[in-house]
Amino acid sequence: EADIYQTPRYLVIGTGKKITLECSQTMGHDKMYWYQQDPGMELHLIHYSYGVNSTEKGDLSSESTVSRIRTEHFPLTLESARPSHTSQYLCASSEPRTVSETQYFGPGTRLLVL
């Protein structure tokens, strides 16, 4: 089982609140990712990082921001939550480039914005 953790697992919050979703991994992976997944839909990449101080936006436009100050930690922040942000957020990490570069996923955070 992958050593990648996400907190909180579930979050219900009111519109306009600032929230931070935590993600940490103990595998020493340089690459980390954030995905958004709605029920019955595919995963969409919203942010990724190749290492410390590296962050990039993914394919799906997101109002969230990320930071990568430490290798093991990749938090995602929403400055002002809205109902449209309601979704499941999955964090992943992968080992350095290999032919079979596998992404290891955390358990996810289910966010509900009222």
Q: Which of 55, 53, 54, 57 is nearest to 45 (CA)?
A: 57
Minimum CB–partner distance for residue 18 and other proteins (Å): 25
Residue 59 CB, nearest approach to other proteins (Å):
8
Q: Which of 57, 106, 62 is nearest to 87 (CA)?
A: 62
As to burial, measured by CB atoms within 10 angstroms (0-12 exposed, 13-18 middle, 19+ buried), residue 3 is middle
β-pairing verdict for 10-13 and 109-113: parallel
CB of 47 to other proteins, least distance (A): 14
CA 106 to chain centre: 9
The nearer residue to other proteins, 35 or 85, going by C-beta atoms, is 35
Q: Give residues in contact with other proteins (CB under 8 A).
A: 2, 4, 9, 40-45, 50, 59, 90-92, 97, 99-108, 110
Closer to other proteins by Cβ: residue 13 or 43: 43
Q: Which is nearer to other proteins, 17 or 73 (CB)?
A: 73
